[in-house]
A and B are shown apart, each in its own frame.
Chain A
Amino acid sequence: MKLAIDETRCKGCNLCTKVCPYKIFKEGKKANRRGIIIPELDRPERCTNCRLMHLYGRTLCGVCQLTCPDQAIHWVEEQPYEPHKVAIEY
């Protein structure tokens, strides 16, 4: 699964940047066509839910999704064999 922000819904409140334990959401820099600065995702493949949702058959963590007041955060299916950056955490 892949974490994604729905640009048609996000209003750029940056609440997601506060709540993720991995700090995956970073304040964005550029305004989009609607003048809204959408947060950027920093190595979203670290998200617990992306990795384990299918295995456990339920949403894990999901704090960003519950918090987002604009229902803009969701997970989408990945294309087979999408390249990943490998992150090793200590």
Chain B
Amino acid sequence: MSFEDWYRQDRLPHIFCAGCGNGTIINCTLAAIEQMAWKKEETVFVSGIGCSSRAPGYIAADSLHTTHGRAIAFATGVKLANPELNVVVFTGDGDLAAIGGNHFIHGCRRNIDITVICMNNQIYGMTGGQGSPTTPLGCFSSTTPFGCAEAPFDLCELAIAAGANYVSRWTSYHVKELEKAVYAGLQTPGFSFIEALVQCPTAFGRRNKFKQVGDQVDYLRTHSMLKAKHDRLLEQGEHIPPDMFVVGELVRRNRPVPGVKI
């Protein structure tokens, strides 16, 4: 079997715009799930609202497409009601960190045994490109026409501080690394959070001088810095450009997990 067999073939092609990174992240997640050898009947996908949150609708397993921001709350309910189920959440940056911010930090704090994959396109894609809590400083959106003036959230730092057992960040360019990270997250008991930075050519790229789909992917590739290198530069007291972001496995630990013996 390959990851393609997890797709609902009758629902494809999906509605994402040409070049939207969401499809890539679903591929990598399903490839990791395929490696886990989970059965479809034992796996549930949960999401909120947004382009990214449409993901479970294309997967041939049980799914909950819930209200905006509440995916983690619903997923917590599913897992507690039947701990035998494998629960995976797909969410967007707006869904997770804006309206759903509270559920996110408390999900991490409780350390529920679920895996959350956030497709962070740094914008509200579905509603036409409003700024989100992760829109970088100076970037343009329909609500930040003069460039975003507010500092963005670092979602991974947030998850680490709140207590998640596994945290890593990759981009839609790093497909193999992302697949491995999701696989590690699925294996780790407790709350696993994987942030995947993705291109959104329609709402973000168009306003931020990324003329071609590939331009934004190139930006993600050239502005990601491996954690090991980042740590080394920090140690040596060297300058790290502010527009670089860290990629790699950021945390893997063994905090107690409700309902799971470690």
Closest to B19 in A: A13
Interface residues of A in 1-51 (CB under 8 A from B): 8-9, 11-15, 17-19
Q: Is the CB of B176 within 8 A of A15?
A: no
Q: How far is the CB of B225 from chain A (nearest CB, A)?
A: 20
Could you list 15 examples of A-B contacts with CB < 8 Å? Answer: A11-B13, A11-B18, A11-B19, A12-B18, A13-B201, A13-B213, A15-B213, A19-B173, A59-B2, A65-B27, A69-B21, A69-B23, A70-B16, A70-B23, A72-B13
A positions within 8 Å CB-CB of B: 8-9, 11-15, 17-19, 59, 63, 65-72, 74
- Alpha-carbon gap, A69 to B199, bound state (A): 11
Q: Is the CB of A71 within 8 A of B27?
A: yes
Number of A-B contacts (CB under 8 A): 67
- Alpha-carbon gap, A12 to B14, bound state (A): 14
Query: For residue A19, which residues in chain B have a CB less than 8 angstroms away from its CB?
Result: 173, 175
Q: Interface residues of B toward A: which range?
A: 20 to 34
Query: For residue B218, which residues in chain A have a CB less than 8 angstroms away from its CB?
Result: 18
Query: For residue A8, which residues in chain B have a CB less than 8 angstroms away from its CB?
Result: 13
Residue from B20, B27, B172 whose CB has the most chain A CB atoms within 10 Å: B27
- Alpha-carbon gap, A11 to B27, bound state (A): 16
Residue from B13, B22, B28, B179 whose CB has the most chain A CB atoms within 10 Å: B13
Closest to A36 in B: B18
- Alpha-carbon gap, A82 to B7, bound state (A): 31
Q: Is the CB of A15 within 8 A of B214?
A: yes
Any A CB within 8 A of the CB of B4 = yes
Any A CB within 8 A of the CB of B24 = yes
Q: Is the CB of A13 within 8 A of B18?
A: yes
Query: For residue A72, which residues in chain B have a CB less than 8 angstroms away from its CB?
Result: 13
With contact pairs A9-B12, A13-B18, A71-B23 given, residues A66 and B28 touching in the complex (Cβ less than 8 Å) = yes
Query: For residue B14, which residues in chain A have a CB less than 8 angstroms away from its CB?
Result: 70
- Alpha-carbon gap, A15 to B205, bound state (A): 15
Q: How far is the CB of A66 from chain B (nearest CB, A)?
A: 4
Interface residues of B in 195-219 (CB under 8 A from A): 201, 212-214, 217-218
- Alpha-carbon gap, A57 to B127, bound state (A): 44
Any A CB within 8 A of the CB of B31 = yes
- Alpha-carbon gap, A59 to B179, bound state (A): 14
With contact pairs A11-B18, A11-B19 given, residues A69 and B24 touching in the complex (Cβ less than 8 Å) = yes
Q: How far is the CB of B51 from chain A (nearest CB, A)?
A: 12
6 closest Cβ pairs, A-B complex: A69-B23, A13-B19, A11-B18, A66-B175, A9-B13, A13-B213
Q: Is the CB of B4 within 8 A of A74?
A: yes
